Amino acid sequence: MPSATPLADKIAAVTGGGGGIGGGISRLFAEAGAAVVVNDIDADLANAAVGDITDAGGRAIAVVGDITDSVVVAEFHRAAVEFGDGQVDVLVNNVGDYRPGAGKFIRTTEADWDAQINITFRHVLRCTRAFMPTMVEGGGGTIVNVSTVEAMRAMPRIAVYSAANAAIIAFTRSIALEMADQNIRVNCIAPDMAVTLQTPLDQMLRDRPLEQVSRLIPLCRFGNPDDFAEVALFLASDQSRFMTGQTIPVDGGTMTAQGWYRRADGRGFTNLPDAP
């Protein structure tokens, strides 16, 4: 039987760990036994996550700051090492934002590209580079990156976001191979249809009935932070001990559907979503 606390005695560091998917990961990792270092740019969200964890009997600290800033990355790593008495076992690179540079590519600027690459991909490089030597010294660890299904399919109007997330997937594979002999596993989740502060339900519905939109998702519902956190926990724990370099879509089946949708009358599927 799997342990109820598969991260017992582990130190986990989570970027963007205050709200949304990151908040779900921070809280679930703490339930699984980890002491959690929560980074978030929003002090209220970071402190709320830490409060929830400590109120439940867990251990957590907040490191408030913009993870795209190399100084914040260094502080995040320093705080995690101190909190863990030199030990850091799990790093979750969760931060990302589709909004910088959103719109038709032809109208974007190099400043837009830089902003998008910084918030979605460059911090993954910086955090991985900061934490990896600590994991090597400690005899191993796990890294869970958060990408998106938009990295694996066409996505108009957020092309640079899609490309930056594809880079996360490629980096995951390459660094997993590079570090396998150091007992460091690196895997990735690719969410879709997530209800978060960044993508609230009303924004996705756009005044359409929930039933109409949810039938376009094979599992017929949107994803909550816990849905994604559970898969991240699997990848961070020994339950996935023989896995590395993998990306798992956590998407309610949208990648599998590849453009097929349930008919409004419930009779089979259509590849024309407005058809009955």
**Any residues with CB less than 8 A from the CB of 88 and at least 6 apart, and which?**
11, 12, 13, 77, 80, 81, 131, 134, 135, 138, 141
Six-digit token string for 246: 């993998």
- How far lies 13's CA from each of 65, 80, 172, in Å? 14, 7, 17
CA dihedral 75, 76, 78, 82 (to 10 degrees): 130
Of 161, 171, 234, 261, the active-site residue reads 161
- Report the SS3 class of residue 75: helix
Assess whether 161 carries a catalytic annotation. Answer: yes
Give the whole-angstrom CA distance, residue 276 versus residue 274.
Answer: 7
Six-digit token string for 265: 């009358």
Six-digit token string for 102: 């959103």
Question: What is the set of active-site residues?
Answer: 161
